[in-house]
Amino acid sequence: MTTIKKQLEKMGGWRLGFLSQAESQSIDALEVVGQVPEWLHGAFISTGPAVFELDGQYVDHWFQGLGMLKGFYFNAGQVGFKNKMLQSDTYKHYVLGEPEGPEYDDGNVTVFPFGDKGSAMTESLGDCSFDPKSLETIGHIVYQGELDVHLTLAHLVVDPVSGHYINVGIQFGPTTRYLIYTIDTVSSKQEVIAAYESSLPFYMHSFSVTNRYIVLFQSPLIFDVEALMSGGGFTEMLTKAEGAPTQFIVIDRETGTSTAIFHEESMCFHQVNAIESADVIVVDSCDVDRIDGFADGLFELLCNPDYQVIPAYLKRHTIDLQSNSVSTVQLTAAALEFPRINDAYAALDYQYVYAALTERSHNFFDGLIKVDVEQKKDVKYYRDNCYFGEPIFVAHPDTPTEDDGVVMSLAFDAVKNQSLLVVLDAQSFTELAHAYIPIPIPFGLHGHWFAT
Ligand SMILES: [Fe+2]
């Protein structure tokens, strides 16, 4: 442990964002430089790994750190801040020494509004409920309805048909079943609406939904089910199945039939949006063209001075359901990840993607980017010495233009060793305001806007 920790400390710079930091703060009004729009009312809440030492060992991978909730609270131009370690059973076991819970439940990947509460999720079944105002952990969400699966995805999608959340559960067995189900946040009822069966237990991190179709992406990155069941972490549970296909799986929600459409070997963590029209589905996603490397011990790799993020590129896949073929174009030359859109445009014709940008000379997410997917143009934003988390878009409440609103991101200043919020005007992609917080926050994963 000390070797990796000391090495990251010694190398400094952006690597400082991978050091454990569990300290909490609660600040009513940050010092804001610039102007935060007065119409912004609500909270930008995100989660992400923050404590990397478990059982006296530095974990192998960023994704294995224990989750911290971070909230920026907007009211009439003022910005408050709060952060707290998620009090999951997993956290209580490792940090407070309590007995181990029945399953891993540390929601360090995503947060979503769930009724008047929040849900912090990872890919296990134990989703933690929290109070969006205090960031106190409440307990587990108790779902209604049988769902016989081993894992779920951490990326919920809003179903354009029912308005409910929709997710995929994975059930291992002689074949692997992918159960697509809706979640009603009022009754907490889960209901399976479609299923897909595969001879390979392929890993999947996100998916897309349109009115008629569900789009899964199968890559050769598969679960080592035995390692997973015996409690293996991220680096042990995934492996590349040589020769396994890469394909889009399109499930017709009306007929229940599924179609596999072969694609060149690649992997995608994040589907961005999917739009159906007649016999064509357009799927935009962030793709990488190599499968190996994801499940390696990332922290050991970070100790290499030449370390570079495996670049992901925004691609548009046009799936022709008549010919069962797909054609692909790249939408920008820039390497990017953590793509977000104006959520009101999910499953609809849309124009803009916001994402964290990697300029390859800088090794990590050292900018933000807005991509116009129609015009194939982009605008970039940088701040000196700063590295950026996922940018979320918040729409102006009164205007119907797709990019009328703000984009915000929790950034890390590697020279000050402090984190900061940046708020950009989404149209011009220029900074409206930034606000430092007194502590460094380790690099996080995903966030969401909680309106009030
Ligand atoms: Fe993700």
Report CA(340)–ligand 1 centroid distance (Å).
Answer: 11
Distance 110 CA to ligand 1 centre (A): 7
Complete DSSP assignment for 4-68: HHHHHHHH-GGGGGGS-----EEESS--EEE---TT--EEEEEEEEEE-EETTEE-SSGGGSEEE
Residues 69, 447: contact at Cβ < 8 Å?
Answer: no
Q: What is the pLDDT of residue 60?
A: 85
| Interval between CA 153 and ligand 1 midpoint (Å) | 9
35: CA distance to ligand 1 center in Å? 30
Contact (CB, 8 A) for 350 and 331: no
**47 CA from centroid of ligand 1 (Å):** 11
Question: What is the pLDDT at residue 101?
Answer: 84
Phi and psi torsions of 273, nearest 5°: -165, 155
- Report d(CA 416, CA 438) in Å as an integer: 10
Q: Using CA atoms in the order 78, 79, 80, 84, what is the torsion angle rounded to 10 degrees?
A: 170
Q: How far is the CA of 323 from the centre of ligand 1 (A)?
A: 31
Q: Where are the alpha helices (DSSP H) in 30-182?
A: 89-96
Task: Tell me the CA–centroid distance for residue 446 and ligand 1, in Å.
Answer: 7
Q: What is the pLDDT of residue 309?
A: 84
How far is Cα 97 from Cα 94, in angstroms, rounded to an integer? Answer: 6
Measure the CA–CA gap between 417 and 7, rounded to whole angstroms. 16
Question: Across 89-203, where does the E strand assignment appear?
Answer: 110-114, 117-121, 128-130, 137-140, 151-152, 157-158, 165-171, 176-183, 190-198
Tokens 């920790």 belong to which residue? 5
**Token digits for 257?**
């039939």
Tokens of 183: 């979640």
For residue 382, the 8-state DSSP code is -
Quickly list DSSP for 255-314: T--EEEEEE-S-EEEEEEEEEEETTEEEEEEEEES--TTTTS-HHHHHTSTT--PPP-EE
Ligand 1 centre and the CA of 11: distance in Å?
27
**Contact in structure between 92 and 98 (CB atoms under 8 Å):** yes
In this prediction, residue 301 carries a pLDDT of: 85
pLDDT, residue 199, reads 96
Ligand 1 centroid to 271 CA: how many Å?
Answer: 9
Q: What is the pLDDT of residue 121?
A: 97
Residue with tokens 């394909």: 247
Q: What local confidence, expressed as pLDDT, does residue 290 receive? A: 80
Distance 339 CA to ligand 1 centre (A): 9
- pTM > 0.95: yes or no: yes
Consecutive 10-residue runs of the chain (452 residues): their mean pLDDT? 84 94 97 98 98 87 94 97 97 92 92 97 95 97 93 97 97 97 96 96 97 97 90 82 95 96 95 96 93 75 87 96 97 97 97 92 88 97 96 93 98 97 98 98 98 90
